[in-house]
Structure 1
Amino acid sequence: MIPHEYAHLAGVTSPIRVCTRHRFRSGGAGMVPPMASDAPAGQAADEARRLKLYAYLDAREHRRTYLWIMRLFASTLLADLSAGEVSAALSPAERRGDIAAGESRVENVITRLKQLVEWGNLVAGRREVVASSIAEFQHGSVRYQVSKLGVRVQRDVDELLRTTEGAREVSRELLPAIAAGLDELLARLSRASHEHGRDPHSDTAAKAVERMAEQVTTLFLQHGELAATVRDFYAYLGQVVTRYHLASAEISGFRNLLVEYIQMVVEDVLRYTPTIAEILTRDEFSGATTHLLRLLTPSGSLGRDVERARGRAAADWRELTDWFVDRPGRPSQVTALREATARAIGTLLATVKRATSGGGPEPGRRAELLTLAKWFDESTQDQAHTLAAAAFGLHPARHISPAPEHDGDDEQTPWADGPAVDVLVTVRSRGERTRGRTSRILDNPLGREQLLAEARNADARHAAAVAELASSGGRLDGVTLSADALGTLCGLLTDAMAQRERPTDEGAAVDPVGGLTLRLTPRTGNTAVIHTSGGRLEIQDTAVEFSTSHV
């Protein structure tokens, strides 16, 4: 209730009870439907709206405050908090120094809550309050709840912050559980179909459906956990195989990873996945899952806009099947896992071998380079110059080439903060400055004979084209040239025209192989016409003459 002395501020003359309704952003009965638009534009807008849910994680200011507020809302079911309650909850964090000073003040909390509402992480609403002042009414009547997508984002964020960067153990024990669960589910579904066909409303049929729902949920939870652990483990494995150098303390761990753990994972996959794939590809299993979906999804039970548990849609079962079963043009995840394991084992073996052998017959230089870097870090400027000269031989008197182009650095920038220089693998591992030997030229008799045959064929075609031009007697307007003869003629025309500095000059070109000479003579009013199998070539104000000579 608002006290009587404050009632005139609300535009009334008697005590009132203020109750405002929630304002819904989307969905719900009685809402005005959105305007029709093309699907891609609507999908892009929905993606942009959802991606704004992550904005508070990369906020330039007050990121810690946003995190504490979202953790507060995500830690309680059906959290319904006012700005004052959030402010009181943030006070201990401010005293500990977890958030900046002043962030627990109500006016700052209101600003942060409104920003989270704008991003979509929170939803604002109102409820009845009993207040003794307008300020208390304003702070208490506006309530905030976390949105469904907002709590999911915060849950993923907290899980990510808790996750270590090391390898994640693959839940291998779930493979036999999935195989046994599928087999039992198929048998139970066969019995339940018989009971449901006799009396679908009996207690026995209802208990059978409930038991199958439990098995389906367990099955997909097991598969989801297995798929997640496999993805995380192989992501870590891909991160490891990209490393060129391994520390001595890491070598034994990676050996165990190769010899023991990966082998166990692959053995379990090879042992259990054929059984799972065989069950999923049975003809009876396809019909059984269709009947199972009808039993587990009664019409009109939860409505359309509800995110159902996995296993209640045909797409879920297709995804499960695709994880274990190969299809034409699309290998399964099991096949991809085996291929990735083979590549990872080969790469890790090469990495461990390189790390233990020093990269070649000579000892590796990694330890020496690290020691040298430590000396540079601990030395003064004069000592660093002396150390560089002693280590690399970079004495000033030995620089006889021009100075290199300035890289934009200055003498005030420490070497550790300057631009990085790529070091060759041979220098890094063996201390060698050579870039490797020249590759051998391989002898290919078959390729050589093929090239010789092609050259002989080209020479024969060229000789035939020269003979065809020579047989015309210098009068090209009376013959029709072949494609090879036209090519040879065009080459001679190009050379002859290139010799003329002005259009009124003469030009000549000689074919050194066939002894054919072409001469171009300027002649006003004369048009040289050349007929070919592909058309007719006309050269204006020019006379074309041929002559042959034996060379």
Structure 2
Amino acid sequence: MGARIEELDRLDGYTYLTVPERPTYLAIMRLFAGSLMTDLSAQEVADALNGNGEQLTVDTAADRLGRLVSWGNLLPSSHAVRVKSIAEYHRARSRYQLSPLGERIQRQVDEMLASADSAREISRELLGLVAAGLARVAEQVERPGGPDPAQTRDVVVTAFAQFWQFRDSVRDFYAYLGQVLARYDLDAGEYAGFKNLLLDYVESITEEVVLLAPRIERDLDRIWPQLPALLARIDADGDGLVSAAEAVGVTVQRTRGREVADWEALRAWFRDTDGRRSEVGQLRDATLRALQSLLANAKRMIRSSGHGVSRRRDLLRLAGWLDGADADTAADLFTAAFGLYGARHVGIAGDPEAVVPATESWWPAPAVTVPVSLRERGNRAPRGRPTGVVDRSEQQAMLLAEAAATQRARVTAAGELLSAAADLSAVRLSASAMSLLLELLARALGAGDPAFGSAVTLSMDLGLRCEVVGKPGATLVLRSASGDFTADGLSIRLAPVEATGDG
């Protein structure tokens, strides 16, 4: 766990690339990495950066250098400095130099910034040199007396340096290729260029690897049984820095090819090991995926009749215009491109029962339903042809027939009431006659008060007159099929309208 924590602590060296002041930190690190074993003071750093257009005070430079020391990128320098005055001593007393970690990180940063957007050419000729070097090593380990340590060491180190450069160039190129083929805005010219790149360049690389990989595998099989003895013999001939470093307890990163792990990584590149697919197999798979992506782009171009479905190029052009425009022009460009105008009052009333104070923000306020025409087209005008007048003659005929049937039933009920007008209590009325009688009774009581005389109502369409007369102590009982009706102190008189002379 302790080693794990130390590894994570080393990552603090990348902190200066993530802080807001990274341009200043990057300029300081490039100043230290510009020459070997440079030690500088805060005054010298400020003078050098100010001469290049930076605005940096000595106090700010001292703060930046202190932070780089805390992150592990710089180290306090112990070099003696000759000064001629106390003021010069104060300016030069704190001096700094580049740490090994800081130097490596800055070198990686400069390499990445210099080639991040470019396609790296694959050094395919190096693979042939690697195959030739491994063949020489295989011959030397099999000859009587064993290999010559000095010659074998030179061949091994050279072969591994060539192989690692070839491997890194392959990885960089295929990463760039995957980035390009993931685009969906390739026009006809770009498509033709990348098609030739895949069919010619990538195919030639794949053929080179496929041709030389079996030879390298055979030579590695010849070397492998003798590998421990070979490395021991090379180390015995001269350990270089390793022997001197062991005396002072310093860890040395050895040249590639001097450790068994380097050979295992080389072998895994050409052969499947421990269930892991070899890099050669992955290279073939990556080439196949690239060809499939190219075919997908071709299908997309055919379906869209030469017009790409992606707006990436248009959006990049618009971004360039916005970046170079002032605030007002940028607002006009954005409005013209996306049609996002300011908020407008559309005059739609909200729910009258919902009480919303004037101070309420529109964000949490209840929403108002907007008609579809206004929401989608920005106006209330109807679109399309107006609908025709609906033919309702059938419904009208049906309603007229129902009304006529109802009127006939009322006429029949009126005739039944007139026939029993002499003594309504002596007969049993039908339901319709009882309903009509109660209707006339209610209308008569609404027209007058029987306690002060009589209450009269007329039904001209039925030719019927109804009079309600007050009769204290009497009880009126009306019987019908739908139920009985009882009223105290009342008497009902029914007669035809013509017979009464009312008109």
TM-score normalised by the chain length of structure 2: 0.58
Q: Which moved more, 1:148-157 or 1:178-187?
A: 178-187
Per-residue Cα deviation, 1:448-490 (whole angstroms, up to 9, x for no partner)? xxxxxxxxxxxxxxxxxxxxxxxxxxxxxxxxxxxxxxxxxxx
Per-residue Cα deviation, 1:200-255 (whole angstroms, up to 9, x for no partner)? xxxxxxxx422222211111111111111111111112212322231233112111
Distance 1:123 1:369 in 2: 46
Amino acid at match of 2:85: S
Q: CA RMSD in A?
A: 3.6
Q: 2:226 maps to what in 1?
A: 288
Distance 2:334 2:113 in 1: 43
Q: 1:265 maps to what in 2?
A: 205
Q: Is the 8 A contact 1:126 1:141 kept in 2?
A: no
Distance 2:292 2:37 in 1: 52
Alignment of 1:320-335 (within 5 A): 320-335=266-281
Q: 1:185 aligns with which of 133, 137, 145?
A: 137
Distance 2:104 2:334 in 1: 56
Per-residue Cα deviation, 1:164-202 (whole angstroms, up to 9, x for no partner)? 4233221111121111110012223445x7177xxxxxx
Q: 1:354 maps to what in 2?
A: 300
SS in 1 for 2:75: strand
Q: Is the 8 A contact 1:186 1:288 kept in 2?
A: no
Amino acid at match of 1:153: I
For these two proteins, the number of residue pairs brought into alignment is: 327
Q: Is the 8 A contact 2:185 2:308 kept in 1?
A: no
Instruction: Describe the shift of the 1:212–1:75 C-alpha distance in structure 2 as closer, same or farther (beyond 3 A).
Output: farther
Q: 2:151 maps to what in 1?
A: 211
- The percentage of aligned residue pairs carrying the same residue is 39
Instruction: Describe the shift of the 1:169–1:373 C-alpha distance in structure 2 as closer, same or farther (beyond 3 A).
Output: closer
SS in 1 for 2:81: coil
Q: 2:90 maps to what in 1?
A: 138
Instruction: Describe the shift of the 1:364–1:72 C-alpha distance in structure 2 as closer, same or farther (beyond 3 A).
Output: closer
Gaps of 5+ in 2: 322-328, 340-345, 347-361, 364-503
Distance 2:96 2:310 in 1: 58
Q: 1:7 maps to what in 2?
A: none
SS in 1 for 2:96: strand
Distance 2:311 2:139 in 1: 66
The offset of 1:66, in angstroms, is: 1.3
Q: 1:48 maps to what in 2?
A: 8
Distance 2:15 2:93 in 1: 27
SS in 1 for 2:190: helix
Q: Is the 8 A contact 2:181 2:294 kept in 1?
A: yes
Amino acid at match of 1:170: I
Structure of higher CA gyration radius: 2
Question: Is 1:89 matched up with 2:48?
Answer: yes
Distance 2:234 2:333 in 1: 79
SS in 1 for 2:82: coil
Distance 1:387 1:127 in 2: 62
Instruction: Describe the shift of the 1:387–1:180 C-alpha distance in structure 2 as closer, same or farther (beyond 3 A).
Output: closer
Q: Is the 8 A contact 1:128 1:141 kept in 2?
A: no
Q: 1:226 aligns with which of 166, 190, 205?
A: 166
Alignment of 1:295-374 (within 5 A): 295-298=233-236, 300-303=243-246, 305-355=251-301, 357-359=302-304, 364=307, 366=309
The offset of 1:138, in angstroms, is: 3.1
Amino acid at match of 1:218: T
SS in 1 for 2:25: helix
Q: Is the 8 A contact 2:138 2:220 kept in 1?
A: no
Q: Is the 8 A contact 2:186 2:308 kept in 1?
A: no
Amino acid at match of 1:245: D
Q: 1:542 maps to what in 2?
A: none
Q: Is the 8 A contact 2:33 2:106 kept in 1?
A: yes
Q: 1:404 maps to what in 2?
A: none
Q: Is the 8 A contact 1:189 1:288 kept in 2?
A: yes
Per-residue Cα deviation, 1:32-78 (whole angstroms, up to 9, x for no partner)? xxxxxxxx2x23421332111011111212x2221122112112112
Question: Is 1:57 matched up with 2:8?
Answer: no
Instruction: Describe the shift of the 1:373–1:73 C-alpha distance in structure 2 as closer, same or farther (beyond 3 A).
Output: closer
Q: 2:145 maps to what in 1?
A: 194
Amino acid at match of 1:150: G
Distance 2:299 2:131 in 1: 38
